[in-house]
Amino acid sequence: MSKQGSGGNGRFQATQIRRRLFWLLFKVFGAVALTALLLLAGLLAIMLRGPGDEEASFPPEQLAILKTYYLVQGSWEGVAALWDAPPDDSPETWQQLVLLDENGRVLSGPAELGELYESGVGEVPFTVQVADQTVGTLILTSPLSAPPLFVVLGAVPLVTIAVSTALVTLLIGFLLTRRIVTPLAEVIAAAQEVTAGDLSARAADVSGPDDFRALGDAFNQMVDTLQANEEQRRNMLADIAHELRTPLTILRGRLEGILDGIYEPDEAHIAPAVIQTHLLQKLVDDLRLLTLAETGHLPIAAQDVYLDEIAAQTAVLFEAEALDKNVTLTVATAPDLPAVTADPQRVGQVVSNLLSNALRHVPDGGHIAVAVQREGNGVALSVADSGAGVPEEDLPHLFDRFWRAEKSRNRSSGGAGLGLAIVKQLVLGMNGRIHAENTPGSGLRVTVYFNT
């Protein structure tokens, strides 16, 4: 078993698990084969065995002849003549019978006359009663109704076929067991390593039926997600620490300077510290908003909302900032747009964050275009800028927490990296969709979509 980050211990666990599962399933197939053999043996015993004691209520017809003879003669004298000249002309049948008197001595049949009879294995006794009095016993020394010839002749090949079938069943069970056990052992061993904290473990070389391959792939994808989430959690903690370090350093420096008499406690020296507290408050508020949205606990007051109206109202708030950067900000809306189902306050936050992000990345003299139009069964709102855009390989991470296109992590150009993450969670919280793409010329276009 070869898994990233796993060594001999993982391979040893897979071997042990594979051995246990193999014997478990092989025993099941063995039990099935043994049960089939036992059932066949019982069936053959029933087919081949002679009559038993329980069949004494079905005596041979000779018993009735002997009873009649005793009634007519009043004794067993001369009864041996029946064995010499049987009334039904079947001497071979009479030779299978031994007649005993009431004391158990032989009166006639293939035995020593006058001797006490010793019963043998497989013999069946029938009591001879006349006028409610036991006058003798008729012994059936061999079955009168032997099994049919086809039963006798077919028993051997039937047993051979049954044994062969059992062996083939065991062989097929062995092969199926190997085919089933190997992928299961890989997944179980990898799961145990993940449980122990090794998120690099993977179920490698999962073969066998499609369902087992799908199980292995699903398990590996699950661990990939867990590993990505763990990495994202660590990065988030590092990002939060980074975001807090700068304003806290400025605050501490200003306050310590005032306490040490380096700075005067006037507005010029206190104002930068207050600005940093505002940044800290904004960061904390954004983190709280993002956490509530991701966990589904953010209150959403859904109602009829007109995206064109909210886009126009929000764009007015950014006109001054756009003017300072010599950026052209336009809003284009299609006529007669229907209302969508959303929270007006949250939609305003979405548009505000999109415009803020666009202004941060558009160069001086550039332009930002807000467009609202009908799309399918809803309305789409897009914000496109003439900035540098985002590399295609980075587009999937555009809405991640603390992600910035600038790897330098410069706040002045990249912000805290929470704006677009908040936008995504707000849109999803209102059952909308969001999509980002580079425009054909240059820049980035982010589109949100809401149902009517």
Provide the β-strand partners of residue 328. Answer: 367
Q: Where are the domains of the chain?
A: 8-48+148-195, 53-140, 210-294, 303-451
How many other C-beta atoms are found inside a 10 Å radius of the C-beta of residue 57?
A: 7
pLDDT at 400: 84
Pairing relationship of beta strands 444-451 and 303-305 according to DSSP bridges: unpaired
Residue type, 396: P
How many other C-beta atoms are found inside a 10 Å radius of the C-beta of residue 228?
A: 11
- Classified as helix, coil or strand, 295 is coil
pLDDT at 124: 81
* Gap between the Cα atoms of 451 and 377, Å rounded: 6
Burial state string for 120-143 with b = 16 or more CB within 10 A and e = fewer than 16: eeeebbbebeeeeeebbbbbbbee
Burial state string for 312-334 with b = 16 or more CB within 10 A and e = fewer than 16: eebbeebeeebeebebebebebe
For residue 133, the surrounding DSSP H or E stretch is strand 133-140
Q: What's the DSSP call for residue 54?
A: G
- Classified as helix, coil or strand, 409 is coil
* Gap between the Cα atoms of 126 and 57, Å rounded: 9
pLDDT at 29: 67
pLDDT at 415: 56
pLDDT at 412: 45
- Classified as helix, coil or strand, 447 is strand
Residues 6+ apart with CB under 8 A from 222: none
By C-alpha distance, which of 359, 341, 357 is closest to 427?
Answer: 341
Predicted confidence (pLDDT) per residue in 73-111, tens digit: 888 888 888 887 787 766 777 878 888 888 888 888 887
What kind of fold does domain 303-451 have according to CATH?
Heat Shock Protein 90 (3.30.565)
pTM of the complete model: 0.55
pLDDT at 15: 66
296, 298, 302, 306 alpha-carbon torsion, rounded to 10°:
-110
* Gap between the Cα atoms of 307 and 448, Å rounded: 10
Write out residues in the chain with pLDDT < 50, as ranges.
1-7, 50-57, 144-146, 149-150, 408-414
Q: Which two tokens stand for residue 287?
A: 């983190």
Provide the β-strand partners of residue 375. Answer: 378
Residues 6+ apart with CB under 8 A from 206: 183, 186, 187, 212, 213, 215, 216, 217
Residues 6+ apart with CB under 8 A from 329: 315, 318, 319, 322, 355, 367, 368, 370
- Domains 210-294 and 303-451 are alike in CATH topology: no
Contact 314, 448 (CB under 8 A): no
* Gap between the Cα atoms of 424 and 449, Å rounded: 11
Q: At the top level of CATH, which class does the domain 210-294 belong to?
A: mainly alpha
In Å, how far from its chain's centre is CA 179? 18
Predicted confidence (pLDDT) per residue in 105-156, tens digit: 888 888 788 888 887 766 788 888 888 888 899 888 765 444 554 455 556 6
pLDDT at 49: 55
